[in-house]
Amino acid sequence: MDFLSEHQPEMLPGNRQLPPTQGVIEAPHGTTIVAVTFPGGVVLAGDRRATMGNVIAQRDIEKVFPADEYSAVGIAGTAGLAVEMVKLFQLELEHFEKVEGAQLSLEGKANRLSTMIRSNLGMAMQGLAVVPLFAGYDVDRDKGRIFSYDVTGGRSEEHNYAATGSGSIFARGAMKKLFRDDLTEEQATTLVVQALYDAADDDSATGGPDVARRIYPIVTVITEDGFRRLTDEESSEIARSILERRLEQPDGPRAALL
Amino acid sequence: MSTPFYVSPQQAMADRAEYARKGIARGRSLAVLQYADGIVFVGENPSRALHKFSEIYDRIGFAAAGKYNEYENLRIGGVRYADLRGYTYDRNDVTARGLANVYAQTLGTIFSSGAEKPYEVELVVAEVGETPDGDQIYRLPHDGSIVDEHGSVAVGGNAEQIGSYLDQRHQDGMSLAEALKLAVQALSRDTNGTEREIPAERLEVAVLDRTRPQQRKFKRIVGRQLSRLLEVDGASTEAESAEEAEGSEEE
Protein backbone atom coordinates (compact mmCIF):
# COMPACT_ATOMS: atom_id res chain seq x y z
CA MET A 1 0.00 0.00 0.00
CA ASP A 2 2.90 2.34 0.77
CA PHE A 3 4.45 1.47 -2.55
CA LEU A 4 1.14 1.93 -4.32
CA SER A 5 0.55 5.34 -2.75
CA GLU A 6 3.92 6.50 -4.06
CA HIS A 7 3.71 4.81 -7.40
CA GLN A 8 0.08 4.98 -8.47
CA PRO A 9 -1.86 6.90 -5.84
CA GLU A 10 -5.01 6.94 -7.94
CA MET A 11 -5.28 3.16 -7.45
CA LEU A 12 -5.98 3.56 -3.74
CA PRO A 13 -9.63 3.80 -2.73
CA GLY A 14 -8.97 6.62 -0.26
CA ASN A 15 -7.26 8.89 -2.77
CA ARG A 16 -10.08 9.48 -5.16
CA GLN A 17 -11.71 12.82 -5.58
CA LEU A 18 -15.37 12.66 -4.71
CA PRO A 19 -17.82 14.73 -6.65
CA PRO A 20 -20.09 16.74 -4.37
CA THR A 21 -23.38 14.92 -4.00
CA GLN A 22 -26.71 15.62 -2.49
CA GLY A 23 -28.54 13.08 -0.44
CA VAL A 24 -27.72 9.42 -0.14
CA ILE A 25 -26.09 7.62 -3.04
CA GLU A 26 -27.92 4.46 -3.99
CA ALA A 27 -25.58 1.50 -4.15
CA PRO A 28 -25.93 -2.14 -3.15
CA HIS A 29 -25.31 -2.80 0.52
CA GLY A 30 -24.32 -6.03 2.11
CA THR A 31 -25.92 -6.90 5.37
CA THR A 32 -25.27 -9.42 8.13
CA ILE A 33 -21.98 -11.08 9.09
CA VAL A 34 -21.52 -13.22 12.19
CA ALA A 35 -18.53 -14.87 13.82
CA VAL A 36 -18.09 -17.21 16.74
CA THR A 37 -15.02 -18.78 18.35
CA PHE A 38 -14.75 -22.36 19.49
CA PRO A 39 -11.86 -24.21 21.10
CA GLY A 40 -9.39 -24.67 18.23
CA GLY A 41 -10.62 -22.02 15.84
CA VAL A 42 -13.19 -19.54 14.69
CA VAL A 43 -16.20 -19.59 12.34
CA LEU A 44 -17.13 -16.63 10.15
CA ALA A 45 -20.35 -16.62 8.15
CA GLY A 46 -22.51 -14.27 6.17
CA ASP A 47 -25.92 -14.21 4.51
CA ARG A 48 -26.24 -13.80 0.76
CA ARG A 49 -28.39 -10.73 0.30
CA ALA A 50 -27.42 -7.29 -1.02
CA THR A 51 -30.00 -4.54 -0.84
CA MET A 52 -30.37 -1.17 -2.51
CA GLY A 53 -32.94 0.82 -0.64
CA ASN A 54 -36.00 -1.41 -0.50
CA VAL A 55 -34.90 -3.49 -3.47
CA ILE A 56 -32.99 -6.74 -3.22
CA ALA A 57 -30.01 -5.98 -5.43
CA GLN A 58 -28.52 -9.45 -5.40
CA ARG A 59 -29.61 -12.74 -3.90
CA ASP A 60 -26.35 -14.64 -4.02
CA ILE A 61 -23.65 -12.11 -3.21
CA GLU A 62 -20.58 -13.45 -1.44
CA LYS A 63 -19.51 -11.39 1.52
CA VAL A 64 -17.00 -13.59 3.29
CA PHE A 65 -13.51 -13.80 1.82
CA PRO A 66 -10.28 -15.44 2.86
CA ALA A 67 -7.74 -12.71 3.71
CA ASP A 68 -4.87 -15.18 3.75
CA GLU A 69 -4.24 -18.72 4.93
CA TYR A 70 -5.19 -18.05 8.56
CA SER A 71 -7.73 -15.26 8.45
CA ALA A 72 -10.92 -14.19 6.77
CA VAL A 73 -12.88 -11.02 6.44
CA GLY A 74 -16.63 -10.59 6.17
CA ILE A 75 -18.03 -7.34 4.86
CA ALA A 76 -21.10 -5.31 5.64
CA GLY A 77 -21.83 -1.97 4.04
CA THR A 78 -21.42 -0.67 0.50
CA ALA A 79 -20.64 -3.80 -1.49
CA GLY A 80 -18.51 -2.28 -4.24
CA LEU A 81 -16.20 -0.43 -1.91
CA ALA A 82 -16.02 -3.31 0.51
CA VAL A 83 -15.04 -5.81 -2.15
CA GLU A 84 -12.31 -3.50 -3.35
CA MET A 85 -11.08 -3.00 0.18
CA VAL A 86 -10.90 -6.73 0.71
CA LYS A 87 -9.00 -7.14 -2.54
CA LEU A 88 -6.44 -4.58 -1.50
CA PHE A 89 -6.24 -6.12 1.96
CA GLN A 90 -5.62 -9.59 0.54
CA LEU A 91 -2.99 -8.17 -1.77
CA GLU A 92 -1.26 -6.41 1.05
CA LEU A 93 -1.06 -9.46 3.28
CA GLU A 94 0.26 -11.55 0.42
CA HIS A 95 2.74 -8.88 -0.59
CA PHE A 96 4.08 -8.58 2.93
CA GLU A 97 4.42 -12.32 3.20
CA LYS A 98 6.36 -12.59 -0.04
CA VAL A 99 8.68 -9.65 0.54
CA GLU A 100 9.43 -10.32 4.21
CA GLY A 101 9.30 -14.10 3.99
CA ALA A 102 7.03 -14.26 7.05
CA GLN A 103 3.34 -13.74 7.75
CA LEU A 104 2.04 -10.69 9.55
CA SER A 105 0.84 -11.32 13.08
CA LEU A 106 -2.93 -11.45 13.50
CA GLU A 107 -2.78 -8.15 15.42
CA GLY A 108 -0.81 -6.65 12.57
CA LYS A 109 -3.40 -7.74 10.03
CA ALA A 110 -6.23 -6.37 12.19
CA ASN A 111 -4.42 -3.03 12.53
CA ARG A 112 -3.85 -2.82 8.82
CA LEU A 113 -7.54 -3.31 8.12
CA SER A 114 -8.28 -0.59 10.64
CA THR A 115 -6.16 1.91 8.70
CA MET A 116 -7.90 0.98 5.47
CA ILE A 117 -11.35 1.56 6.95
CA ARG A 118 -10.23 4.91 8.30
CA SER A 119 -9.08 5.98 4.84
CA ASN A 120 -12.64 5.44 3.68
CA LEU A 121 -14.07 7.85 6.26
CA GLY A 122 -14.85 10.52 3.66
CA MET A 123 -17.09 8.13 1.75
CA ALA A 124 -18.57 6.78 4.95
CA MET A 125 -19.78 10.30 5.79
CA GLN A 126 -21.68 10.28 2.50
CA GLY A 127 -23.40 7.07 3.42
CA LEU A 128 -20.98 4.67 1.74
CA ALA A 129 -19.66 3.02 4.84
CA VAL A 130 -17.77 -0.26 4.99
CA VAL A 131 -17.83 -2.11 8.28
CA PRO A 132 -16.09 -5.47 8.16
CA LEU A 133 -15.65 -8.23 10.66
CA PHE A 134 -12.23 -9.82 10.78
CA ALA A 135 -11.61 -13.30 12.15
CA GLY A 136 -8.49 -15.36 12.22
CA TYR A 137 -6.55 -18.08 13.88
CA ASP A 138 -3.71 -16.71 15.98
CA VAL A 139 -0.83 -19.09 15.37
CA ASP A 140 1.17 -17.65 18.26
CA ARG A 141 -1.61 -18.04 20.83
CA ASP A 142 -3.25 -21.13 19.30
CA LYS A 143 -6.78 -19.81 19.30
CA GLY A 144 -9.36 -18.14 17.10
CA ARG A 145 -9.89 -14.42 17.51
CA ILE A 146 -12.46 -11.92 16.23
CA PHE A 147 -12.05 -8.20 15.60
CA SER A 148 -14.87 -5.81 14.92
CA TYR A 149 -14.66 -2.27 13.54
CA ASP A 150 -16.64 0.92 13.40
CA VAL A 151 -16.83 3.33 10.45
CA THR A 152 -13.96 5.44 11.75
CA GLY A 153 -11.61 2.47 11.80
CA GLY A 154 -11.90 1.92 15.52
CA ARG A 155 -10.93 -1.64 16.20
CA SER A 156 -11.98 -3.80 19.10
CA GLU A 157 -11.41 -7.41 19.85
CA GLU A 158 -14.57 -9.38 20.49
CA HIS A 159 -14.68 -12.37 22.74
CA ASN A 160 -16.72 -15.47 21.95
CA TYR A 161 -19.01 -14.02 19.28
CA ALA A 162 -19.62 -10.90 17.19
CA ALA A 163 -21.88 -9.61 14.44
CA THR A 164 -21.95 -6.68 12.07
CA GLY A 165 -24.42 -5.26 9.56
CA SER A 166 -28.09 -4.39 9.68
CA GLY A 167 -29.22 -7.72 11.09
CA SER A 168 -26.46 -7.83 13.67
CA ILE A 169 -28.69 -6.87 16.60
CA PHE A 170 -30.88 -9.92 16.10
CA ALA A 171 -27.98 -12.20 15.31
CA ARG A 172 -26.13 -11.11 18.41
CA GLY A 173 -29.16 -11.83 20.57
CA ALA A 174 -29.41 -15.31 19.13
CA MET A 175 -25.73 -16.02 19.61
CA LYS A 176 -25.80 -14.73 23.17
CA LYS A 177 -28.38 -17.38 24.05
CA LEU A 178 -26.80 -20.21 22.09
CA PHE A 179 -23.11 -19.71 22.80
CA ARG A 180 -21.21 -22.08 25.04
CA ASP A 181 -17.50 -22.39 25.79
CA ASP A 182 -17.17 -25.96 24.63
CA LEU A 183 -18.63 -25.81 21.13
CA THR A 184 -17.34 -28.25 18.57
CA GLU A 185 -16.68 -27.14 15.01
CA GLU A 186 -20.00 -28.60 13.83
CA GLN A 187 -21.91 -26.96 16.65
CA ALA A 188 -20.24 -23.62 15.94
CA THR A 189 -21.18 -23.77 12.26
CA THR A 190 -24.77 -24.63 13.21
CA LEU A 191 -24.79 -21.75 15.69
CA VAL A 192 -23.83 -19.15 13.09
CA VAL A 193 -26.48 -20.36 10.65
CA GLN A 194 -29.07 -20.23 13.47
CA ALA A 195 -28.00 -16.66 14.19
CA LEU A 196 -28.27 -15.71 10.51
CA TYR A 197 -31.69 -17.31 10.39
CA ASP A 198 -32.82 -15.21 13.34
CA ALA A 199 -31.36 -12.10 11.71
CA ALA A 200 -33.22 -12.83 8.47
CA ASP A 201 -36.36 -13.47 10.50
CA ASP A 202 -36.46 -9.95 11.89
CA ASP A 203 -34.38 -7.86 9.49
CA SER A 204 -35.71 -7.33 5.98
CA ALA A 205 -32.26 -6.66 4.54
CA THR A 206 -30.86 -10.02 5.61
CA GLY A 207 -31.53 -13.05 3.48
CA GLY A 208 -32.43 -16.39 4.98
CA PRO A 209 -31.64 -19.79 3.44
CA ASP A 210 -33.29 -19.88 0.00
CA VAL A 211 -34.34 -23.48 -0.49
CA ALA A 212 -36.00 -22.94 -3.85
CA ARG A 213 -32.91 -21.37 -5.41
CA ARG A 214 -30.47 -23.41 -3.34
CA ILE A 215 -28.77 -20.34 -1.94
CA TYR A 216 -27.37 -20.92 1.51
CA PRO A 217 -25.20 -18.83 3.82
CA ILE A 218 -21.46 -18.85 3.28
CA VAL A 219 -19.80 -20.49 6.25
CA THR A 220 -16.02 -20.49 6.69
CA VAL A 221 -13.94 -22.17 9.35
CA ILE A 222 -10.40 -21.18 10.31
CA THR A 223 -8.35 -23.54 12.43
CA GLU A 224 -4.68 -24.34 12.72
CA ASP A 225 -5.06 -26.17 9.41
CA GLY A 226 -5.93 -22.89 7.79
CA PHE A 227 -8.94 -21.40 6.06
CA ARG A 228 -11.73 -23.62 4.79
CA ARG A 229 -15.01 -22.69 3.23
CA LEU A 230 -17.80 -25.18 3.75
CA THR A 231 -18.96 -26.67 0.48
CA ASP A 232 -22.46 -25.94 -0.76
CA GLU A 233 -23.54 -29.42 0.29
CA GLU A 234 -22.26 -28.94 3.81
CA SER A 235 -23.88 -25.57 4.35
CA SER A 236 -27.15 -26.70 2.74
CA GLU A 237 -27.13 -29.67 5.10
CA ILE A 238 -26.87 -27.36 8.12
CA ALA A 239 -29.50 -24.95 6.77
CA ARG A 240 -31.93 -27.76 5.97
CA SER A 241 -31.64 -29.38 9.38
CA ILE A 242 -32.30 -26.00 11.00
CA LEU A 243 -35.29 -25.41 8.71
CA GLU A 244 -36.70 -28.78 9.61
CA ARG A 245 -36.60 -28.01 13.29
CA ARG A 246 -38.05 -24.56 12.74
CA LEU A 247 -41.09 -26.04 11.01
CA GLU A 248 -42.08 -27.28 14.45
CA GLN A 249 -40.52 -24.45 16.46
CA PRO A 250 -40.51 -21.31 14.32
CA ASP A 251 -38.53 -19.27 16.85
CA GLY A 252 -35.72 -21.76 17.08
CA PRO A 253 -34.16 -23.45 20.10
CA ARG A 254 -35.28 -22.17 23.50
CA ALA A 255 -32.74 -21.25 26.13
CA ALA A 256 -33.35 -22.13 29.78
CA LEU A 257 -35.14 -19.43 31.78
CA LEU A 258 -32.94 -19.51 34.78
CA MET B 1 46.83 16.84 -17.61
CA SER B 2 46.37 13.14 -18.00
CA THR B 3 44.70 11.84 -21.13
CA PRO B 4 42.17 9.03 -20.54
CA PHE B 5 43.11 5.82 -22.28
CA TYR B 6 40.97 4.85 -25.21
CA VAL B 7 39.08 1.65 -24.47
CA SER B 8 37.16 0.14 -27.34
CA PRO B 9 33.45 -0.60 -26.62
CA GLN B 10 34.05 -4.27 -27.33
CA GLN B 11 36.78 -4.34 -24.73
CA ALA B 12 34.71 -2.41 -22.18
CA MET B 13 31.77 -4.80 -22.57
CA ALA B 14 33.99 -7.84 -22.43
CA ASP B 15 35.52 -6.52 -19.22
CA ARG B 16 32.14 -5.92 -17.68
CA ALA B 17 30.91 -9.37 -18.69
CA GLU B 18 34.04 -10.90 -17.26
CA TYR B 19 33.52 -9.01 -14.02
CA ALA B 20 29.91 -10.15 -13.71
CA ARG B 21 30.74 -13.75 -14.60
CA LYS B 22 33.42 -13.91 -11.94
CA GLY B 23 31.04 -12.54 -9.36
CA ILE B 24 28.39 -15.11 -10.26
CA ALA B 25 30.93 -17.91 -10.26
CA ARG B 26 31.78 -17.22 -6.62
CA GLY B 27 28.22 -18.12 -5.61
CA ARG B 28 26.96 -21.66 -5.39
CA SER B 29 25.07 -23.09 -8.33
CA LEU B 30 21.47 -24.08 -8.38
CA ALA B 31 19.29 -26.18 -10.65
CA VAL B 32 15.70 -25.83 -11.83
CA LEU B 33 14.00 -28.91 -13.27
CA GLN B 34 10.63 -29.82 -14.64
CA TYR B 35 8.95 -32.87 -13.13
CA ALA B 36 5.60 -34.51 -13.74
CA ASP B 37 3.58 -32.27 -11.39
CA GLY B 38 5.49 -29.04 -11.68
CA ILE B 39 8.88 -27.43 -11.40
CA VAL B 40 11.43 -28.03 -8.67
CA PHE B 41 14.17 -25.64 -7.53
CA VAL B 42 17.22 -27.19 -5.88
CA GLY B 43 20.28 -25.42 -4.55
CA GLU B 44 22.95 -25.66 -1.92
CA ASN B 45 22.40 -22.95 0.64
CA PRO B 46 23.93 -23.05 4.12
CA SER B 47 21.77 -20.11 5.22
CA ARG B 48 18.22 -20.62 6.47
CA ALA B 49 17.40 -16.94 6.28
CA LEU B 50 18.74 -15.81 2.93
CA HIS B 51 16.71 -17.62 0.34
CA LYS B 52 17.79 -18.23 -3.22
CA PHE B 53 14.29 -19.21 -4.30
CA SER B 54 11.12 -17.34 -3.76
CA GLU B 55 7.53 -16.96 -4.77
CA ILE B 56 6.70 -14.13 -7.12
CA TYR B 57 3.06 -14.84 -7.85
CA ASP B 58 0.52 -17.64 -8.01
CA ARG B 59 2.31 -19.75 -10.59
CA ILE B 60 5.62 -17.96 -10.85
CA GLY B 61 8.80 -18.71 -8.97
CA PHE B 62 12.17 -17.01 -8.90
CA ALA B 63 15.66 -18.39 -8.45
CA ALA B 64 18.92 -16.50 -8.40
CA ALA B 65 22.65 -17.11 -8.16
CA GLY B 66 25.22 -14.44 -7.41
CA LYS B 67 25.29 -11.50 -5.09
CA TYR B 68 22.52 -11.61 -2.47
CA ASN B 69 21.75 -7.92 -2.10
CA GLU B 70 21.51 -7.48 -5.84
CA TYR B 71 19.15 -10.34 -6.56
CA GLU B 72 17.09 -9.57 -3.46
CA ASN B 73 16.59 -6.13 -4.94
CA LEU B 74 15.41 -7.65 -8.21
CA ARG B 75 13.19 -10.13 -6.40
CA ILE B 76 11.34 -7.42 -4.50
CA GLY B 77 10.99 -5.45 -7.71
CA GLY B 78 9.46 -8.54 -9.32
CA VAL B 79 7.01 -9.10 -6.48
CA ARG B 80 5.93 -5.47 -6.74
CA TYR B 81 5.53 -5.69 -10.48
CA ALA B 82 3.48 -8.86 -10.22
CA ASP B 83 1.27 -7.69 -7.36
CA LEU B 84 0.57 -4.38 -9.04
CA ARG B 85 -0.29 -6.12 -12.30
CA GLY B 86 -2.53 -8.61 -10.57
CA TYR B 87 -4.33 -5.90 -8.62
CA THR B 88 -4.79 -3.61 -11.60
CA TYR B 89 -5.99 -6.29 -14.01
CA ASP B 90 -6.48 -9.88 -12.97
CA ARG B 91 -4.44 -12.60 -11.34
CA ASN B 92 -4.28 -14.46 -14.67
CA ASP B 93 -2.68 -11.48 -16.36
CA VAL B 94 0.59 -11.90 -14.50
CA THR B 95 2.87 -14.06 -16.62
CA ALA B 96 6.45 -15.27 -16.39
CA ARG B 97 7.09 -13.90 -19.87
CA GLY B 98 6.13 -10.40 -18.83
CA LEU B 99 8.19 -10.63 -15.69
CA ALA B 100 11.21 -12.01 -17.54
CA ASN B 101 10.97 -9.10 -19.95
CA VAL B 102 11.01 -6.60 -17.11
CA TYR B 103 14.02 -8.32 -15.57
CA ALA B 104 15.80 -8.43 -18.91
CA GLN B 105 15.29 -4.72 -19.40
CA THR B 106 16.51 -3.91 -15.90
CA LEU B 107 19.58 -6.11 -16.17
CA GLY B 108 20.33 -4.95 -19.69
CA THR B 109 20.13 -1.28 -18.76
CA ILE B 110 22.37 -1.74 -15.77
CA PHE B 111 24.83 -3.82 -17.79
CA SER B 112 25.30 -1.34 -20.59
CA SER B 113 25.09 1.93 -18.67
CA GLY B 114 28.54 3.34 -18.08
CA ALA B 115 28.23 4.51 -14.52
CA GLU B 116 26.96 1.53 -12.59
CA LYS B 117 28.79 -1.73 -12.23
CA PRO B 118 26.93 -4.66 -13.78
CA TYR B 119 24.84 -6.83 -11.48
CA GLU B 120 26.61 -10.05 -10.58
CA VAL B 121 23.49 -12.16 -10.79
CA GLU B 122 21.93 -14.81 -12.95
CA LEU B 123 18.21 -15.37 -12.61
CA VAL B 124 15.69 -18.05 -13.45
CA VAL B 125 12.01 -17.19 -13.74
CA ALA B 126 9.71 -20.20 -13.97
CA GLU B 127 5.98 -20.52 -14.40
CA VAL B 128 4.08 -23.72 -13.92
CA GLY B 129 1.25 -24.38 -16.36
CA GLU B 130 -1.86 -26.53 -16.20
CA THR B 131 0.04 -29.28 -17.98
CA PRO B 132 3.79 -29.94 -18.38
CA ASP B 133 3.55 -28.42 -21.88
CA GLY B 134 2.45 -25.15 -20.34
CA ASP B 135 5.52 -24.86 -18.12
CA GLN B 136 7.86 -22.02 -18.90
CA ILE B 137 11.42 -21.57 -17.69
CA TYR B 138 13.46 -18.50 -18.55
CA ARG B 139 17.11 -17.99 -17.72
CA LEU B 140 18.36 -14.44 -17.49
CA PRO B 141 22.13 -13.98 -17.55
CA HIS B 142 23.81 -10.85 -16.19
CA ASP B 143 23.72 -8.97 -19.51
CA GLY B 144 19.94 -8.88 -19.84
CA SER B 145 19.38 -11.52 -22.49
CA ILE B 146 16.61 -14.07 -22.11
CA VAL B 147 17.09 -17.76 -22.76
CA ASP B 148 13.99 -19.92 -23.04
CA GLU B 149 14.84 -23.24 -21.39
CA HIS B 150 13.14 -26.62 -21.45
CA GLY B 151 13.44 -29.52 -19.06
CA SER B 152 16.26 -28.40 -16.86
CA VAL B 153 18.53 -25.43 -16.32
CA ALA B 154 21.45 -24.63 -14.04
CA VAL B 155 22.86 -21.25 -13.09
CA GLY B 156 25.79 -20.14 -10.99
CA GLY B 157 29.50 -20.85 -10.96
CA ASN B 158 29.55 -24.39 -12.17
CA ALA B 159 26.50 -24.01 -14.38
CA GLU B 160 27.88 -25.40 -17.63
CA GLN B 161 29.00 -28.68 -16.17
CA ILE B 162 25.88 -29.13 -14.06
CA GLY B 163 23.70 -28.11 -16.99
CA SER B 164 25.16 -30.69 -19.32
CA TYR B 165 24.92 -33.38 -16.64
CA LEU B 166 21.24 -32.53 -16.17
CA ASP B 167 20.56 -32.36 -19.91
CA GLN B 168 21.89 -35.85 -20.43
CA ARG B 169 19.82 -37.41 -17.68
CA HIS B 170 16.67 -35.37 -17.40
CA GLN B 171 13.50 -36.95 -18.75
CA ASP B 172 9.99 -35.68 -19.07
CA GLY B 173 7.55 -36.97 -16.50
CA MET B 174 10.03 -37.66 -13.71
CA SER B 175 8.60 -37.87 -10.21
CA LEU B 176 9.53 -35.21 -7.66
CA ALA B 177 11.84 -37.59 -5.81
CA GLU B 178 13.61 -38.57 -9.04
CA ALA B 179 14.04 -34.99 -10.16
CA LEU B 180 15.30 -33.98 -6.74
CA LYS B 181 17.77 -36.80 -6.65
CA LEU B 182 19.08 -35.96 -10.10
CA ALA B 183 19.52 -32.32 -9.14
CA VAL B 184 21.37 -33.17 -5.95
CA GLN B 185 23.65 -35.52 -7.86
CA ALA B 186 24.39 -32.83 -10.40
CA LEU B 187 25.07 -30.20 -7.77
CA SER B 188 27.36 -32.42 -5.74
CA ARG B 189 29.80 -32.95 -8.60
CA ASP B 190 32.80 -30.67 -8.25
CA THR B 191 34.63 -29.03 -11.12
CA ASN B 192 37.38 -31.62 -11.02
CA GLY B 193 34.87 -34.45 -11.30
CA THR B 194 34.96 -35.62 -7.70
CA GLU B 195 31.69 -36.04 -5.84
CA ARG B 196 30.93 -34.73 -2.41
CA GLU B 197 27.99 -35.22 -0.10
CA ILE B 198 25.51 -32.37 0.39
CA PRO B 199 23.58 -32.97 3.63
CA ALA B 200 19.85 -32.28 3.62
CA GLU B 201 20.28 -29.33 6.04
CA ARG B 202 22.35 -27.49 3.45
CA LEU B 203 19.83 -27.96 0.66
CA GLU B 204 17.25 -25.40 -0.22
CA VAL B 205 14.36 -26.95 -2.12
CA ALA B 206 11.13 -25.40 -3.35
CA VAL B 207 8.46 -26.48 -5.81
CA LEU B 208 5.82 -24.97 -8.00
CA ASP B 209 3.28 -27.75 -7.69
CA ARG B 210 0.41 -27.62 -10.17
CA THR B 211 -1.60 -30.15 -8.12
CA ARG B 212 -1.80 -27.83 -5.10
CA PRO B 213 -5.44 -26.89 -4.52
CA GLN B 214 -4.55 -23.32 -3.52
CA GLN B 215 -4.16 -20.54 -6.02
CA ARG B 216 -0.56 -20.07 -4.94
CA LYS B 217 1.45 -23.01 -6.20
CA PHE B 218 4.81 -22.19 -4.65
CA LYS B 219 5.90 -24.23 -1.67
CA ARG B 220 9.16 -24.71 0.18
CA ILE B 221 10.14 -28.24 1.00
CA VAL B 222 11.90 -28.36 4.34
CA GLY B 223 12.68 -30.59 7.29
CA ARG B 224 11.04 -33.96 7.44
CA GLN B 225 9.35 -33.72 4.08
CA LEU B 226 12.69 -33.09 2.40
CA SER B 227 14.49 -35.91 4.18
CA ARG B 228 11.60 -38.22 3.36
CA LEU B 229 11.84 -37.34 -0.32
CA LEU B 230 15.59 -37.86 -0.26
CA GLU B 231 15.11 -41.20 1.46
CA VAL B 232 12.53 -42.36 -1.07
CA ASP B 233 15.13 -42.12 -3.74
CA GLY B 234 17.71 -43.47 -1.30
CA ALA B 235 16.00 -46.85 -1.64
CA SER B 236 15.97 -46.74 -5.40
CA THR B 237 19.41 -45.15 -5.65
CA GLU B 238 21.22 -48.45 -5.17
CA ALA B 239 19.77 -49.94 -8.31
CA GLU B 240 20.12 -46.81 -10.35
CA SER B 241 23.62 -45.98 -9.20
CA ALA B 242 24.64 -49.45 -10.36
CA GLU B 243 23.17 -48.64 -13.75
CA GLU B 244 24.91 -45.33 -13.71
CA ALA B 245 28.26 -46.92 -12.97
CA GLU B 246 27.80 -49.01 -16.08
CA GLY B 247 26.75 -45.96 -18.01
CA SER B 248 29.84 -44.01 -17.01
CA GLU B 249 32.09 -46.83 -18.13
CA GLU B 250 30.62 -46.63 -21.56
CA GLU B 251 31.19 -42.90 -21.79
User: Is residue A133 over pLDDT 80?
Assistant: yes
Of B54, B76, B83, the CB nearest to A91: B83
Instruction: Assess B93–A contact: CB distance below 8 Å, yes or no.
Output: no
Provide residues of A within 8 Å CB-CB of chain B: 3-4, 7-8, 11, 87-88, 91, 94-95, 98-99, 101
3-state helix, strand, coil in chain A (%, to 5): 40, 25, 35
Q: Are B165 and B159 in contact (CB under 8 A)?
A: no
Distance CA A66, CA A73 (A): 6
Of A4, A8, A99, the CB nearest to B79: A99
Q: What does DSSP say about strands A55-58 and A50-52: parallel, antiparallel, or unpaired?
A: antiparallel
Q: What angle do CA A76, A80, A82 make, to 5 degrees?
A: 40
Exposure on the CB side of residue A187, measured as CA atoms within 13 A:
12
Distance CA B48, CA B40 (A): 18
- B101-117: pLDDT as tens digits: 999 999 999 888 866 78
Q: Which CATH architecture has domain B29-247?
A: 4-Layer Sandwich (3.60)
**Chain A residue numbers touching B87 (CB-CB < 8 A):** 4, 11, 87-88, 91
- B17-74: pLDDT as tens digits: 898 888 888 888 899 999 999 999 999 988 888 899 999 999 999 999 999 999 999 9
CB-CB neighbours of A166 under 10 Å: 20
> Which pLDDT does position B238 carry in this prediction?
43
Say yes or no for a CB contact (<8 Å) between B86 and A91.
yes
- A172-223: pLDDT as tens digits: 999 999 999 999 999 999 999 999 999 999 999 999 999 999 999 999 999 9
ipTM above 0.85, yes or no: no
Q: Which DSSP helix (H) or strand (E) runs through A231?
A: none
**Chain A residue numbers touching B54 (CB-CB < 8 A):** 98, 101
Global pTM value? 0.85
DSSP-based three-state secondary structure for A35:
strand
- B176-198: pLDDT as tens digits: 999 999 999 999 887 666 778 88
- A1-24: pLDDT as tens digits: 566 666 666 666 666 666 666 666
- B127-154: pLDDT as tens digits: 999 999 999 999 999 989 999 999 999 9
